[in-house]
Amino acid sequence: MKDRIVIFLKTYFLFVALFVLQKPLFMACYPSIYTDVSCWDWLLTMWHGLPLDFSLAGYLTALPGLMLLASAWTLSHVLRRVWNGYFLLIACLLSLVLVVDLALYGYWGFRLDATPLFYFFSSPRDAVASVSWWFVLGGVLAWVGCTFLFAWTFRKLLLSKQGFQRLKLPFQALPVSLVLLLLTGLLFIPIRGGFTVSTMNTGKVYFSSNLRLNHAATNPAFNLLESLSKQKNFAKQYRFMGADEADRAFTAMLDSQVLADTLSVSSGAPVDELFTMRRPDVMLVILESFSSRLMTTLGGEPGIAIHLDSLAQEGVLFTNFFANSFRTDRGLVAIMSGYPAQPTTSIMKYSRKTQHLPAIASSLRKAGYATQYYYGGDADFTNMRSYLMSSGIEDIVCDRDFPVSERLSKWGAHDHVLFNRLITDLEHEAQMMEQTGRKPFYRVVQTSSSHEPFEVPYRRLENDRLNAFAYTDSCVADFVHRFRELPQWKNTVLILVPDHLGAYPEQLDNFSLERYRIPLLMIGGAVRQPRCIDVYGSQQDLAATLLAQLGLPHDEFTFSKDMLNPDSPHFAFFTVPDAFGMVTSDGQVIYDNQAGRVVWEAGEAAGENLLKGKAYLQKLYDDLASR
């Protein structure tokens, strides 16, 4: 009996020890983040992270406990093989989580969750396009090394011949079985997190106002499992208040046309007209990772996006515009469907749900527009093609439409190649117009070069990141210069908007407003006059604002509002795993859902915005569950 109990306890506490040691390792791998952290904080991080470590160790010890129990009754050599196989598998998985988490945190600023799995399995090539092959090779070698170290440790400390010897008499096996059954059952306590009403969750390790310490205390394997468990049960997530209270708060945030249509009141013409015509061509250029910090016009640093700064002088610039999330798949749906991003998942991965989303493309097709999408990369990445086609895009130009000689970027074709293809198509279209005429066009152009690894055929700035943004900025300027010479220019509204903010500033903090400030610029021959608009909005508001300017209904876009209608509420909403922000002119708040507390607030209306943000997120998940 003693040998089996010792092995059981050694198994549990060995897992706990491995998880505890991962925390100082994580902090040591990011010295720039934890430079000012005291030795006491290092100890507190390990201490407060114990609840998740105890819980996950309980999960991983349950099966060994049952195997030890069975070993009292059956042949030892069979169980020894199963035992060895189990711990080899666990060594592989835990080391993989450790290495991937350490590698990705520097890019994303949050601990490992289900997001990388979605990106990798949808398109492995694009998922690793951001990093060099040296980085990937180093990661593989680190994984193999960690796996060997973990497997050797498990074998050295947990494999005992005495622990797997079959007991010959039933009266010897029975008490052993009862004790091991009791010990295995007791694992329920650390797994659940005690006997309180709340069950174990990542937020239980949050202990500091320094969010980086909370991240260090988080067990990445537990965080991944919790994220995976939240992928489909949307109707039960983010229950901040009763349904009636959420309905009342959410109704006050709806666009005025949505309310008017509910009451069968016609919305009429746009209150504030930006365009010179009712049915211009619409070209949406989605700029990879651009930030307001790149434009001096928006208070950013000089000398980077110099051409966007110049174009801003001749167009309509929204100065208080925010990204809705942190990744391209979230940003595309927010921009093109007016549907907010979700902090625990990406709706783009659910083709069945995206088929029922409204979209600018489908609305414009009903109004007689032809629709196209241009992208130099893989249109199948993150289920993008499925979403684009179901949203109303008729023609997709992607990497496979460019010769191999032009696909020199890790993401496919560089931005200047992409814009060259677009200009060629526009020139051909201009020739055809003289003979047959045409219907209006809605085109979406998605850039990709201003993304890791920032390898571009251009050199103006020493910093690789900033140089990549300057390159895409120059590609946009060259395209606009050539487009002006074509007859379509005078009938076009060209909308420039980033998919999200990324890569710059280099130390991005997910709990800072600067993480989400992006430009929104409208230029083109069909734009009435230059102006700056200071109302608050975010990416999901572009759909309603554009359709209202075109005199088209947008009542399907429940979460999108016309930013130019003074009767509509003006706010920006954004999400990041696992938090949300709500911003208005008189109050800003960011709320951490895992910690269950406000992490940043300012202004007199911060408390009011917190209630609105909770109601907004709750109704978003109600809607997500129903689609």
pLDDT of residue 103: 87
**Whole-angstrom Cα distance, residue 394 to residue 1?**
70
Query: Among residues 561, 589, 622, which one ends one of the domains?
Result: 561
Any idea what DSSP says for residue 514? G
Q: Does 509 fall in a domain?
A: yes
Q: Does 407 fall in a domain?
A: yes
- 126 and 190 in a single domain? The answer is yes
Side-chain half-sphere exposure of 438, counting CA atoms within 13 A? 21
**Whole-angstrom Cα distance, residue 38 to residue 419?**
51
Placement of tokens 């920032």 in the chain:
454
- 369 and 512 in a single domain? The answer is yes
Task: Give the burial string for 489-521 (b: 16+ CB within 10 Å, else e).
Answer: bebbbbbbbbbbbbbbeeebebeebebbbbbbb
- 11 and 109 in a single domain? The answer is yes
Q: Are strands 395-397 and 492-498 parallel, antiparallel or unpaired?
A: unpaired
Side chain identity at 624, as an amino acid letter?
A: L
Domains: count for the chain = 2
pLDDT in tens, 69-120: 887 777 667 778 888 899 999 999 999 999 999 988 887 777 887 777 766 6
pLDDT in tens, 397-432: 999 899 999 998 888 999 999 999 999 999 999 888
Cβ atoms < 10 Å from Cβ of 597: 11
Q: Which of 222, 209, 237 is nearest to 595 (CA)?
A: 209
Q: Does 174 fall in a domain?
A: yes
Which one is predicted more confidently, 259 or 484? 484
Measured on CA atoms in the order 543, 547, 548, 552, is the torsion positive or negative?
negative
- CA–CA distance from 234 to each of 53, 346, 356 (Å)? 26, 12, 16
For range 331-349, the mean pLDDT: 92
What percentage of residues in the chain have a pLDDT greater than 90? 58
- 214 and 286 in a single domain? The answer is no
Q: Which domain holds residue 385?
A: 280-315+324-523+547-561
Q: What are the DSSP calls for 333-359, one per residue?
A: HHHHH-----SS--GGG-HHHHTTS--
**Is the pLDDT confidence value at 2 over 80?**
no
**Whole-angstrom Cα distance, residue 400 to residue 449?**
17
Q: Does 202 fall in a domain?
A: yes
**Whole-angstrom Cα distance, residue 185 to residue 27?**
34
- 61 and 124 in a single domain? The answer is yes
Side chain identity at 318, as an amino acid letter?
A: F
β partners of residue 538: 322
**Whole-angstrom Cα distance, residue 173 to residue 165?**
11
What percentage of residues in the chain have a pLDDT greater than 70? 91
Which one is predicted more confidently, 351 or 328? 328
Asked if residue 231 lies in contact with residue 127, where contact means CB atoms within 8 angstroms, the answer is no
